[in-house]
C-alpha cells in the first residue's frame, strides 16, 4: 500500500472512530468484532489480510454489500462476522444503509436480489415450501435483513423468511393472526402489517395489526384499526405506519386512511384521503411509495403519478409513468421507494401490447410539473416476465 493510501486509511479510521464516539458506540463495536484495538493478529488463516483488526472491520462495514462475497474468500473472520449477522449490526450502529431489491417475477421459481442500480444480481436459494405455496399468491415485506414472505401451504398460512446474512430460508414465525390481502410496510428495521382477511377467522375482514421484530424474530400485537379492511396498502411516513384504501367487510371501497403512532400506541383516522382517486374492487391495492417523507401514488387506471399534499389532504398530478399499470388494473407492477428515488417496474409503455419489462427510477419533486424517469440497464432481468408477482426493498 502506498503511503498516501495508508494515510487516507488512517484518516478514515480516525473519522469513523470520532463519529462512533459521539454516539458512545465505539466500545460496543470493538467488543462486537472481538478483542482489543491494538491491531495484533486475531486469526492466522490463509488470507491476504491475515488479521481483521477492529478498525478494519469498521471500515469494511462501509463497503457495499454487493462486494462482500469477494472478502469472504480471503478472510475467515470477515466471513464469520458476515454469516453471523454481526457485520450488519455494525452497519446499523454507524448508520450505513444500502438498498437491495428482492423480486419474484411470473414464471420464475426463485427470488432474485438486485443492487440499487440493477447492475448486479443474485439468485436466492430455492424456497423449500410445498407446491401450494409455490404456485399460490404471496405477499412480502422486509424487516432489517429479513425478507418476509407470507403465503398458503396445504396445512395453512405460513411465513417464510430469508435471512440475508445467512443466505438461507427459514420457516416462521407465523403471525399472531394469519392473514392475506393485508397492508404492510417497513418502518425502521421492523415490519408492520394490518387488516386483510383472517385465515383462521372464517375469512372475515380484519382490523387487527401486528409488528415483526427481526431482532427477536417474533410478532407483537398492535391496537386494532378503526375500520376493517382488505386489499389495502401500507407505507411509513413521518415515522408512522399508514394504512390506505381497500374495501370493508361489505365489499365497499374505502377512501379513508388510518395512521398508527407508536409513541401514542393508537390509530388516527384520516377521512377522504383517497377522495380524488377512483376505488374499484377489481383493481390492485393502491400503488403507493414514500420518498423523503412525501407520499406518491401510481394511479393504475390512468398510468399517472400523483403526490399527496398533506396540508390540503389532496393530490397533485405529476405526469405519466413509463409503465402500463392499466394493463392488469395495477396488478403485476412494482412501485417502491428506493432511498431518495422512486422505482417502478412493469410492462413498458413503449410496447403496444404491454410486453417487455421496463425498470425506471426518478428523483421525485412535489413542486415539479412532470418528472424525469431514468431507465436502468436490465442486465439479468432481460429474460424475465414483465409481470411482477412480489417486490420488496431492503435497506440495511
In order along its 396 residues, the chain shows pLDDT tens digits of 443 433 333 344 344 444 444 444 444 444 444 443 333 434 333 333 334 566 777 777 787 776 776 666 666 777 777 777 777 777 778 777 889 999 999 999 999 999 998 988 889 999 999 999 999 999 999 999 999 999 999 988 999 999 998 899 999 999 999 999 999 999 999 999 999 999 877 889 999 999 999 999 999 999 999 999 999 999 999 999 999 999 999 999 999 999 999 999 999 999 999 987 766 667 899 999 999 999 999 999 899 999 999 999 999 999 999 999 998 999 999 999 999 999 999 998 876 544 578 999 999 999 988 889 999 866 667 778 999 999 999 998
The H-or-E segment that residue 19 falls in is helix 3-22
**Are residues 76 and 197 located together in one domain of the fold?**
no
**Are residues 66 and 152 located together in one domain of the fold?**
no
Q: Which candidate, 249, 202, 194, places its Cα nearest to that of 224?
A: 194
Distance between CA atoms of 344 and 355, rounded to whole angstroms? 15
Entry field: residues in the chain: 396
Distance between CA atoms of 158 and 156, rounded to whole angstroms? 6
Of the residues 47, 66, 93, the one at which a domain ends: 93
Q: Are 364 and 319 in contact (CB under 8 A)?
A: no
- Quote the Cα angle for 319-99-210, to 5°: 90
**Are residues 13 and 27 located together in one domain of the fold?**
yes
Q: How far is CA 86 from the centre of its chain?
A: 20
**Are residues 255 and 164 located together in one domain of the fold?**
yes
Q: What is the CATH number of the domain that holds 357?
A: 2.120.10.80
Report the greatest alpha carbon distance in the chain: 72
Of the residues 77, 93, 109, the one at which a domain ends: 93
Distance between CA atoms of 287 and 363, rounded to whole angstroms? 17
In total, how many domains does the chain have? 2
**Are residues 82 and 112 located together in one domain of the fold?**
no
**Residues facing residue 315 across a β-bridge:** 308
Q: Could you tell me the three cell numbers for 187?
A: 418502518
**Are residues 129 and 60 located together in one domain of the fold?**
no
**Are residues 203 and 325 located together in one domain of the fold?**
yes
Say how many CA atoms lie within 13 Å of 318 toward its Cβ: 24
**Are residues 106 and 188 located together in one domain of the fold?**
yes
Q: Could you tell me the three cell numbers for 97?
A: 444503509
Of the residues 52, 71, 93, the one at which a domain ends: 93
Q: Are strands 209-213 and 183-187 parallel, antiparallel or unpaired?
A: unpaired
Query: Domain range holding 62?
Result: 3-93
Q: List, edge to edge, every strand of the sheet that includes 334-338.
A: 334-338, 341-347, 357-362, 374-375
Q: pTM to 2 decimals?
A: 0.83
**Are residues 76 and 137 located together in one domain of the fold?**
no
Q: Which candidate, 100, 93, 29, 30, places its Cα nearest to that of 64?
A: 100
**Are residues 255 and 230 located together in one domain of the fold?**
yes
pLDDT attached to residue 381: 72
**Are residues 79 and 119 located together in one domain of the fold?**
no
pLDDT attached to residue 22: 44
- Quote the Cα angle for 83-210-396, to 5°: 30
**Are residues 88 and 219 located together in one domain of the fold?**
no
Amino acid at each position: 500500500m502506498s503511503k498516501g493510501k495508508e494515510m487516507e486509511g488512517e484518516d478514515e479510521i480516525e473519522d469513523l472512530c470520532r463519529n462512533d464516539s459521539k454516539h458512545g458506540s465505539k466500545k460496543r463495536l470493538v467488543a462486537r468484532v472481538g478483542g482489543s484495538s491494538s491491531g495484533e493478529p486475531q486469526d492466522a488463516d490463509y488470507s491476504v489480510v491475515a488479521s481483521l483488526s477492529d478498525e478494519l472491520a469498521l471500515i469494511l462495514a462501509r463497503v457495499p454489500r454487493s462486494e462482500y462475497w469477494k472478502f469472504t474468500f480471503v478472510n475467515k473472520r470477515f466471513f464469520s462476522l458476515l454469516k453471523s449477522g454481526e457485520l450488519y449490526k455494525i452497519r446499523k450502529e454507524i448508520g450505513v444503509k444500502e438498498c437491495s431489491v428482492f423480486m419474484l417475477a411470473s414464471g420464475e421459481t426463485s427470488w432474485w436480489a438486485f443492487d440499487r442500480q440493477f447492475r448486479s444480481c443474485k439468485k436466492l436459494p430455492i424456497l423449500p415450501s410445498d407446491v401450494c405455496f409455490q404456485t399460490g399468491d404471496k405477499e412480502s415485506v422486509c424487516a432489517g435483513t429479513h425478507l418476509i414472505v407470507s403465503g398458503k401451504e396445504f396445512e395453512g398460512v405460513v411465513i417464510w423468511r430469508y435471512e440475508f446474512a445467512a443466505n438461507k430460508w427459514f420457516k416462521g414465525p407465523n403471525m399472531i393472526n394469519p392473514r392475506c390481502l393485508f397492508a404492510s410496510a417497513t418502518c425502521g428495521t421492523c415490519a408492520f402489517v394490518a387488516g386483510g382477511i383472517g385465515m383462521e377467522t372464517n375469512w372475515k375482514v380484519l382490523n387487527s395489526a401486528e409488528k415483526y421484530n427481526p431482532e427477536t424474530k417474533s410478532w407483537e400485537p398492535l391496537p386494532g384499526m378503526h375500520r376493517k379492511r382488505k386489499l389495502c396498502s401500507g407505507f411509513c411516513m413521518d415515522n408512522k405506519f399508514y394504512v390506505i384504501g381497500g374495501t370493508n367487510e361489505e365489499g365497499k371501497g374505502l377512501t379513508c386512511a388510518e395512521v398508527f403512532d407508536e409513541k401514542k400506541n393508537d390509530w388516527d383516522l384520516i377521512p377522504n384521503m383517497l377522495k380524488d382517486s377512483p376505488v374499484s374492487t377489481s383493481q390492485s391495492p393502491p400503488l403507493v411509495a414514500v420518498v423523503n417523507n412525501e407520499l406518491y401514488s401510481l394511479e393504475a387506471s390512468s398510468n399517472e403519478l400523483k403526490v399527496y399534499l398533506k396540508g390540503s389532504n389532496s393530490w397533485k398530478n405529476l405526469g405519466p409513468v413509463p409503465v402500463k399499470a392499466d394493463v392488469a388494473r395495477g396488478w403485476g407492477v412494482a412501485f417502491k421507494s428506493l432511498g431518495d428515488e422512486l422505482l417502478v417496474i412493469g410492462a413498458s409503455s413503449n410496447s403496444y401490447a404491454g410486453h417487455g419489462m421496463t425498470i425506471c427510477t426518478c428523483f421525485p419533486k412535489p413542486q415539479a410539473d412532470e418528472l424525469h424517469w431514468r431507465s436502468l440497464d436490465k442486465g439479468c432481468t432481460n429474460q424475465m416476465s414483465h409481470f411482477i408477482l412480489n417486490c420488496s426493498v431492503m435497506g440495511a
